Structures are given as C-alpha cells and as structure tokens.
Amino acid sequence: MAESEQDVCRQILQILGLIGDKWTILVVGQLRDRTLRFGELHRVVTGISQRMLTRTLRQLERDGLVTRTVHAGVPPRVEYALTDLGLTLLDSVTALGQWATGHRQQIIEHRRRYDTAHPAPIR
C-alpha cells in the first residue's frame, strides 16, 4: 500500500492544525497533572462554550489523547484524563509554548514597529 508524500504531509498538517487549535491546547494543559470532570474543565478553561468543550474532548478522545470515563449514578459523572500518548503531546506542546513564551516580547515588539511603520489606510 503505497502512501504518497502528499498524503503524509496532509496528515501531519492535520495533526498540527489540531494542536494549533486554541481550545485543544488549553484543555490538554489543564489535564496536565490530574483528571478533571466535564464541569471542572468548563469552569477552568476560561471562555470556552459547552459546545466547543464537548467537540474538543471528542476529538481528543477520537485521537487517543484523552480517556473518557463515565461513572454510573445520579448525578452523572464523566472524568477526562490524558493518555500516555496525550502526555507525549503535552511535552511537545509545552516545548512550543516555551518558545512562544521566550520570544513573545520580541514578536510583540516587531508587531508594534511594523504597525507604526505601516499605518492603516485611511478609508
């Protein structure tokens, strides 16, 4: 089964796109050191809507990055935790986050300079 370079490239891009998603990063970040319930995640990931939290978690579950554990009973309880695979992603993302942190000031400064040098057209 031949697999073209194109396919591989597109798959990797897809994965990077997943990682680049802001909600994904925030959610994975929150699961760093402990498992959390749906409601806890909803509270701790500031600004996320119920819908987006659900979608993000589903995708992460589908990709094998988090586990979803339903505890029977009333009220219902669903817990989310990182898998081993999810942990390796966390490491990589953390590294990238450190790049972002480390160069944040530089980038902001560049933007400031660029924006003053290229004023918005009047319109």
Partner DNA sequence: CAGAATCCCACCCGATACTG
Partner DNA sequence: CAGTATCGGGTGGGATTCTG
Residue appearing with tokens 């749906």: 38
- Asked if residue 76 binds DNA (CB under 7 A), the reply is yes
Dist CA 25 CA 102 (whole Å): 18
For the bound state, the minimum distance from the C-beta of residue 21 to a second copy, rounded and expressed in Å, comes to 7
Q: Is 52 in the site for DNA (CB under 7 A)?
A: yes
β-strand partners of 71 = 77
Interacting stretch for DNA, rule CB under 7 A, among 3-11, 51-59, 82-90, 95-103?
Answer: 51-59
Chosen residue from 18, 19, 21, 83 binding DNA by CB under 7 A: 21
Please state the closest distance from residue 46 (CB atom) to a second copy, in A: 7
Residue 49 near DNA by CB under 7 A: yes
Q: Which residues bind DNA (CB under 7 A)?
A: 21-23, 37-40, 42, 47-52, 54, 57-58, 68, 75-78, 121
